[in-house]
């Protein structure tokens, strides 16, 4: 008995000592510390930001997305004891929560009355504190969004500071409020509490770059920032995907392609380790290794193998032509390229291989690497798949992508692992996706949209991914969709138009939404997908330098004709442009912005972006709700007799008159007026006088009428589906020189 008593006293003393340490460390009461300590130990909680949240000067409103039954217990333990907690009925009545409810004042949530009660405003004006638990929805419906409006209204009236608090990992607890099919369960996940700096609603509204934002939108965006911060975007690409595997389940079938079939996370990482070890034996850490592969399981395993070995994956655009491939190999520079004999043979890319070798690169074939792996190598990979081949540093280069070169020579864009993972987490904080989704990705991985959105995002979010090797198979892709029944798809306007032409009405009917980028989505494209397939196209905006997503529309925050609202964690400003009255040139900051460029003139030399703003070169406008509208590239404006003319507006006018055709407007030199606009179109019946009459009837400015019209059977396009404006401009100059333009 004496020994048992001694042991019990030691345990009790250790427990009290631990509670006292939490009290001192966080500034909470001893009663709070005694109840918080077991939660801290069980879930290894990162609560480093809570001390500052407690210090927020009253009046203050703590806004907590309610993900699990544990959340109120954590907040009652960590927030100041004079905070009034507004609990839902289940939390207010739960017997197990009773000890924690004794820590502070609580009232029962009443959706009909509590948020319009003047009592809450009086509490805040009396230097009080509120803790409000809102529904945990990335894209809240109309009813849920009323609560955001109510909370913002109360905080605004009381001039109270708002502190959003998000508990990362809470939705994966056994007592999560998210349906099991959307969020995998884990008994003891590591929790991360993200608390944003205090700010009033007025201060949040003033962050909009043109005019004060709506209070509800300002609050919603601030909560999205907290959600993003809790996701730990500082992890390397390998560790982010590995953590998703441990959270979702190593045996979960995460990946599939038409040739190799399905791969679980475990099998993916086993293959990645085999590849990573081999590539590590012939390359150095930080070295750029070329990837010349189509969308496939082998591509993803190669990417993860390079990430595991801290090598840089340089994505080769095999549709850009031999000259561009040789330039890319020399610019990076690249000694080793990973490819597949079957792919090269089937795609007839011998000239691309020759171009790579001309740039002094050596090809390593996936088939040979896998054959060389011994039984012991495979056993070791199966045992140690969780661990990377080389030490990880998320701040170092991880991916090299090459800009599309639509208006000039392609540049090498260098992205860190942190850039890519952060961008995926930013998108997940804005778009509602989950374990019950299936994403069909047809966009190539050498395109930043296809890489981050179509591969990295589903891998780190635990979303099943089906990779199709080419976006150009307009007949086969609808058939694949009809068989797979995907819920999400990525694409560009050009590709979506092509799929709609060949698809049956039920081929894409399973889609919840389609994320479109890379080029503007035409109104009739959006309407066709709505009417025929019941699928909503949510348009976004991005650039390779931003890894790439910058803004996106969502189900609850969407406006046709815009590219949505800025992702959480990013800042923007508009620089005035001479000759343009509304909007300005968009500049950005954010954790997803690249490390810098490598220019062909200085191979292998990184020109860092630094801590400043990145100039996108795009002219945009921003409305009160934060929706961004792209007016066009700064280079996509022509200066005619001192007036700035949007080439995008010229194309829009032509498309409105000839909607079934393709159009591209370019500016060419003009001795008298500086520049003149040329419309290159596939419309065989295109006529300048007809376009002039249509513009007059549409009350469009005469400034956007093209000086010349050139007809062609097909517009030049890049492998990504975007119009190759460099080639269009060369075509226009050539045709005008030969006198074949229509006046």
Domain boundaries defined on the chain: 49-229, 237-631, 641-737
pLDDT in tens, 324-366: 899 899 999 999 999 999 999 999 999 999 999 998 999 999 9
CA distance linking residue 726 with residue 733, whole number of Å: 11
C-alpha span between 587 and 575 (Å, rounded): 7
What are the two backbone dihedrals, phi and then psi, of residue 189, each rounded to the nearest 5 degrees? Answer: -70, 150
Instruction: From the candidates 66, 278, 557, 655, give the one annotated as an active-site residue.
Output: 66
470: tokens are 């080419």
Ranges 41-50, 168-177, 602-611: which has the least confidence:
602-611
Evaluate if residue 16 carries a pLDDT over 60: yes
Count Cβ atoms below 10 Å from residue 177 Cβ, excluding itself. 18
Which CATH code for domain 641-737?
Answer: 3.30.300.30
pLDDT for 671 equals 64
Three-state DSSP class for 65? strand
What is the helix (H) or strand (E) element at residue 620, kind and residue range?
strand 614-622
**pLDDT tops 60 at residue 377:** yes
Closest CA to 390 of 239, 265, 271: 239
Treating both helix axes as pointing N-terminal to C-terminal, what angle do 297-308 and 237-248 enclose, rounded to 10 degrees?
120
pLDDT of residue 294: 94
Check residue 478 and give its pLDDT.
94
- At the top level of CATH, the class of 237-631 is alpha beta
**Mean pLDDT for the chain overall:** 87
Q: What are the residues whose beta carbons fall under 8 Å from the beta carbon of 578, sequence distance 6 or more?
A: 644
What does the block give as tokens for 358?
Answer: 């001309």
Shared fold status for 237-631 and 641-737: no
| Among 670, 661, 667, 672, residue whose Cα is nearest residue 647 | 667
Task: Identify the pLDDT of residue 649.
Answer: 73
The radius of gyration of the chain from alpha carbons, rounded to an integer in Å, stands at 28
Whether 156 is catalytic: no
Residue 53's alpha-carbon distances to 75, 136, 198, in angstroms, are 11, 20, 8
Note the pLDDT of residue 115: 57
Burial state string for 151-168 with b = 16 or more CB within 10 A and e = fewer than 16: bbbbbbebebbbbbbbbb
Express each pLDDT in 528-570 by its tens digit.
999 899 888 988 888 889 999 999 998 778 888 889 899 999 9
pLDDT at 32 over 70: yes
DSSP 613: P
Residue ranges in 309-374 assigned as alpha helix (H) = 322-331, 341-347, 350-358, 366-372
pLDDT confidence of 88, banded at 50, 70, 90?
confident
pLDDT digits (tens, 9 = 90+) for 598-637: 988 888 888 888 777 888 888 888 888 889 988 777 666 6
Give the Cα separation of 362 and 380 in Å (integer).
Answer: 28
């Amino acid at each position: 008995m004496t020994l048992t008593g001694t042991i019990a006293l030691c345990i009790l003393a250790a427990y009290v000592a631990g509670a006292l340490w939490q009290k001192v460390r966080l500034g909470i009461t001893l009663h709070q510390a005694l109840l918080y300590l077991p939660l801290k130990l069980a879930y290894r909680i990162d609560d480093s930001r809570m001390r500052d949240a407690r210090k927020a000067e009253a009046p203050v409103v703590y806004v907590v997305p309610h993900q699990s039954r544990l959340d109120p217990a954590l907040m009652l333990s960590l927030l100041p004891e004079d905070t009034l907690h507004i609990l839902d009925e289940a939390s207010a009545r739960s017997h197990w929560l009773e000890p924690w409810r004794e820590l502070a004042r609580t009232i029962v949530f009443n959706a009909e009355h509590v948020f319009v009660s003047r009592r809450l405003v009086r509490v805040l004006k009396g230097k009080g504190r509120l803790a409000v638990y809102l529904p945990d929805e990335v894209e809240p419906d109309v009813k849920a969004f009323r609560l955001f409006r109510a909370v913002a209204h109360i905080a605004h009236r009381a001039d109270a500071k708002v502190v959003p608090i998000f508990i990362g990992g809470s939705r994966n607890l056994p007592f999560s409020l998210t349906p099991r099919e959307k969020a995998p369960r884990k008994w003891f996940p590591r929790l991360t509490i993200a608390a944003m700096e205090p700010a009033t609603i007025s201060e949040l509204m003033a962050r909009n770059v043109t005019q004060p934002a709506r209070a509800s939108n300002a609050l919603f965006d601030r909560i999205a920032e907290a959600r993003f911060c809790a996701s730990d975007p500082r992890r390397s690409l390998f560790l982010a995907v590995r953590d998703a595997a441990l959270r979702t389940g190593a045996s979960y079938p995460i990946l599939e392609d038409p040739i190799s079939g399905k791969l679980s996370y475990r099998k993916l990482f086993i293959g990645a380790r085999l590849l990573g070890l081999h590539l590590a034996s012939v390359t150095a850490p930080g070295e750029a290794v070329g990837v010349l592969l189509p969308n496939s399981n082998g591509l993803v395993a190669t990417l993860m193998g390079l990430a595991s070995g801290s090598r840089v994956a340089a994505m080769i655009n095999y549709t850009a032509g031999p000259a561009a491939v040789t330039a890319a190999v020399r610019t990076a520079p690249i000694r080793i390229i990973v490819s597949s004999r079957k792919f090269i043979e089937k795609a007839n890319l011998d000239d691309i291989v020759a171009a790579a070798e001309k740039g002094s690169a050596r090809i390593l074939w996936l088939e040979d690497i896998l054959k060389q792996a011994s039984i012991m190598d495979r056993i070791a990979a199966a045992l140690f798949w969780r661990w990377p081949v080389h030490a990880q540093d998320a701040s170092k280069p991880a991916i090299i992508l090459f800009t599309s070169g639509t208006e000039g020579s392609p540049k090498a864009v260098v992205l860190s692992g942190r850039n890519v993972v952060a961008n995926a987490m930013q998108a997940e904080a804005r778009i509602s996706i989950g374990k019950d989704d299936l994403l069909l990705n047809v966009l190539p991985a050498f395109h930043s949209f296809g890489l981050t959105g179509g591969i990295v995002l589903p891998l780190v979010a635990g979303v099943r991914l089906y990779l199709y090797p080419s976006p150009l198979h307009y007949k086969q892709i609808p058939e694949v969709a009809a068989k797979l029944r995907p819920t999400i798809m990525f694409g560009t306007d050009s590709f979506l138009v092509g799929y709609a032409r060949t698809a049956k009405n039920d081929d894409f009917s399973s889609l919840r939404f389609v994320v479109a980028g890379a080029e503007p989505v035409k109104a009739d494209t959006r309407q066709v997908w709505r009417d025929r397939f019941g699928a909503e196209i949510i348009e976004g905006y991005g650039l390779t330098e931003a890894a790439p997503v910058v803004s996106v529309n969502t189900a609850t925050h969407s406006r046709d004709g815009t590219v949505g609202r800025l992702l959480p964690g990013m800042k923007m400003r508009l620089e005035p442009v001479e000759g343009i009255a509304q909007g300005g040139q968009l500049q950005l900051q954010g954790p997803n912005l690249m490390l810098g460029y490598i220019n062909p003139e200085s191979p292998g030399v990184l020109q860092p972006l630094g801590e400043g703003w990145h100039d996108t070169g795009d002219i945009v406008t921003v409305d009160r709700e934060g929706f961004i509208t792209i007016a066009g590239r700064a280079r996509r404006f022509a200066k005619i007799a001192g007036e700035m003319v949007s080439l995008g507006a010229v194309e829009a006018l032509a498309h409105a008159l000839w909607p079934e055709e393709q159009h591209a407007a370019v500016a060419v030199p003009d001795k008298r007026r500086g520049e003149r606009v040329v419309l290159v179109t596939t419309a065989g019946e295109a006529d300048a006088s007809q376009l002039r009459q249509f513009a007059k009837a549409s009350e469009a400015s005469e400034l956007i009428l093209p000086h010349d019209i050139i007809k062609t059977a097909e517009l030049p396009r890049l492998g990504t589906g975007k119009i190759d404006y460099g080639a269009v401009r060369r075509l226009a100059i050539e045709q005008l020189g030969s006198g074949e333009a229509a006046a």
